């Protein structure tokens, strides 16, 4: 595999805090079909950052509006659904919160904060299903012991128990300050370094923190796909590549790496279709197209 080209080129770092149209294109995007047919109506990464800023300011209606735009454009982004639940709780809309948190849990079953939010919303609605979330949190805490999630699990368990005991939901919701773009950039660059060192589990943890700051950014999704692919989980890797391309159809990095995944799976025709897409995007040629072409020619990684 050649060196990474998504957001690091000749040592220059492209900040995710830049304008929305840059975010939409991703590290290797640009070009492609007309926006009206090839891309969502809203740039989900830019709208996510608006939602985070509104939550930090406790402007919950504005946060709900922005986060609805995110889930419209990127419906499989668990973090956006979780934050939408928080925006609904801030407006005392527990039914809306239950729906959003339930979607977040289905997309990311191991997300402790999503489980907590769903349990609290269900408890506030006097729904007996709150016990399911409480049982999950307690079981996870029992196996966790003194792991890194111990405090989060303890707080989540207490919050759900309180909601089930009749404590008003508002009393269980405290203002939260979310990471800004500067911290997001730092953990993203940390993830890039960890990937280059083949420390994929640590890289994925850093990418998750970057995702909390930037939401469904195609560069982050592409790196998540790459890390899972290197861990051997091709199915999970594919979901991230597909999410990246749904947001930024002309993203060259995601297209190349998805093509490489197809080669590794023996789907040469699928890889050739992605190569054709790259050739269309790169009118005068590009490194991503040439790399994928080499993979197809030899039926695998040319560096091996």
Average pLDDT, the chain: 84
User: How does pLDDT run across 212-229, given as a tens digit for each residue?
Assistant: 888 888 999 999 999 999
Task: State both tokens at 69.
Answer: 């735009």
CA angle 303, 236, 269 (to 5 degrees): 55
Backbone angles phi, psi at 58, to 5 degrees: 55, 35
Alpha-carbon distance of 67 to 30, in angstroms, equals 24
Q: How far apart are the first and last CA of the chain?
A: 8
Q: Which residues contact 302 (CB under 8 A, 6 or more apart)?
A: 294, 295
Q: How many CB atoms lie under 10 A from the CB of residue 258? A: 26
Pair 120, 159: CB distance under 8 Å: yes
Percent of the chain with pLDDT over 70: 83
* Rama region for 26: left / alpha / beta (φ>0; ψ in -120 to 50; rest): left
Q: What is the CATH number of domain 8-38+180-298?
A: 1.25.40.10
DSSP per position, 254-272: HHHHHHHHHHHTT-HHHHH
Alpha-carbon distance of 162 to 174, in angstroms, equals 14
User: How does pLDDT run across 22-81, given as a tens digit for each residue?
Assistant: 333 333 333 344 333 444 567 888 999 899 899 988 899 999 999 999 999 889 899 999
Do 8-38+180-298 and 44-172 show the same overall fold?
A: yes
Alpha-carbon distance of 231 to 156, in angstroms, equals 30
pLDDT at 15 (0 to 100): 42
* Domain over 44-172 is classified CATH 3.55.50.30: no
Backbone angles phi, psi at 112, to 5 degrees: -65, -45
Pair 214, 43: CB distance under 8 Å: no
Domain spans of the chain, in order of start: 8-38+180-298, 44-172
User: How does pLDDT run across 266-296, given as a tens digit for each residue?
Assistant: 999 999 999 999 999 998 889 999 999 999 9
Alpha-carbon distance of 43 to 38, in angstroms, equals 12
């Amino acid at each position: 595999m050649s060196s990474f080209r998504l957001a690091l080129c000749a040592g220059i770092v492209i900040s995710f805090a830049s304008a929305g149209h840059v975010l939409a294109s991703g590290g290797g995007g640009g070009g492609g079909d007309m926006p009206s047919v090839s891309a969502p109506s809203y740039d989900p990464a830019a709208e996510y950052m608006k939602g985070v800023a509104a939550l930090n300011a406790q402007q919950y209606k504005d946060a709900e509006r922005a986060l609805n735009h995110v889930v419209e454009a990127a419906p499989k982004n668990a973090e956006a659904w979780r934050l939408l639940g928080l925006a609904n709780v801030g407006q005392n809309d527990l039914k809306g919160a239950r729906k959003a948190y339930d979607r977040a849990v289905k997309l990311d079953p191991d997300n402790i904060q999503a489980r907590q939010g769903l349990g609290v919303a269900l408890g506030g609605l006097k729904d007996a299903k709150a016990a399911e979330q409480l049982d999950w949190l307690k079981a996870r805490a029992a196996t966790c012991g003194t792991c890194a999630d111990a405090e989060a699990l303890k707080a989540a368990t207490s919050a759900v128990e309180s909601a089930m005991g009749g404590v008003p939901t508002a009393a269980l919701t405290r203002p939260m300050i979310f990471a800004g773009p500067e911290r997001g950039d730092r953990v993203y660059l940390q993830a890039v370094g960890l990937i280059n060192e083949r420390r994929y589990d640590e890289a994925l943890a850093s990418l998750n923190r970057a995702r909390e700051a930037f939401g469904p950014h195609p560069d982050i999704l592409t790196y998540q796909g790459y890390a899972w692919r290197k861990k051997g989980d091709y199915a999970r890797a594919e979901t991230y590549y597909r999410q990246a391309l749904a947001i930024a159809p002309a993203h060259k990095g995601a297209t190349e790496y998805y093509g490489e995944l197809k080669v590794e799976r023996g789907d040469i025709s699928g890889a050739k279709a992605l190569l054709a897409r790259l050739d269309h995007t790169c009118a005068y040629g590009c490194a991503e197209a040439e790399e994928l072409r080499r993979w197809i020619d030899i039926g695998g990684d040319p560096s091996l």
